[in-house]
Amino acid sequence: DAGVTQSPTHLIKTRGQQVTLRCSPKSGHDTVSWYQQALGQGPQFIFQYYEEEERQRGNFPDRFSGHQFPNYSSELNVNALLLGDSALYLCASSRQGISNEQYFGPGTRLTVT
């Protein structure tokens, strides 16, 4: 049973650029949540997708956007990158109805220079 997968593993971008991160949920899961984890901090909720719609959003600017596909996989897009966007981006999947029981992927380490 495949767990949550994310790609790429690492990414280096320049300020002002745009980035797209990808996530495939655990088998049987239909809900995807994205989190940002700064070094030495706990993960912070960005948004959650279910049925291809954004259902909840944390305190992140509109530069952060996402998408969910019919196969439940998801993308996180960040525009106009800032140095402060450097972090580990985590995807978590769950089943709607018990969507707070979340399983995390390995993350994508984004470095903005």
Partner 1 sequence: QQQVKQSPQSLIVQKGGISIINCAYENTAFDYFPWYQQFPGKGPALLIAIRPDVSEKKEGRFTISFNKSAKQFSLHIMDSQPGDSATYFCAASSSGGSQGNLIFGKGTKLSVKP
Identified binder of partner 1 from the candidate list 51, 52, 54, 101, rule CB under 8 A: 101
Is 106 a binding residue for partner 1 by CB under 8 A? The answer is: yes
The residue among 35 and 64 lying less far from partner 1, judged by its C-beta, is 35
Identified binder of partner 1 from the candidate list 7, 18, 27, 56, rule CB under 8 A: 56
Is 23 a binding residue for partner 1 by CB under 8 A? The answer is: no
Measuring CA to CA, which residue among 31, 10, 15 is closest to residue 88? 10
Is 90 a binding residue for partner 1 by CB under 8 A? The answer is: yes
Contact between residue 4 and residue 23 where contact means Cβ atoms under 8 Å apart: yes
Torsional sign, CA 68, 71, 72, 75: negative
* Distance in angstroms (rounded) separating the CA atoms of residues 109 and 61: 20
Is 60 a binding residue for partner 1 by CB under 8 A? The answer is: no
Is 30 a binding residue for partner 1 by CB under 8 A? The answer is: no
Contact between residue 10 and residue 107 where contact means Cβ atoms under 8 Å apart: no
How do beta strands 10-13 and 108-112 pair? parallel
As measured in angstroms, the least distance from the Cβ of 31 to partner 1 is 7
Residues at the interface with partner 1 (CB under 8 A): 4, 6, 31, 33, 35, 40-45, 48, 55-56, 58, 90, 92, 94, 99-107
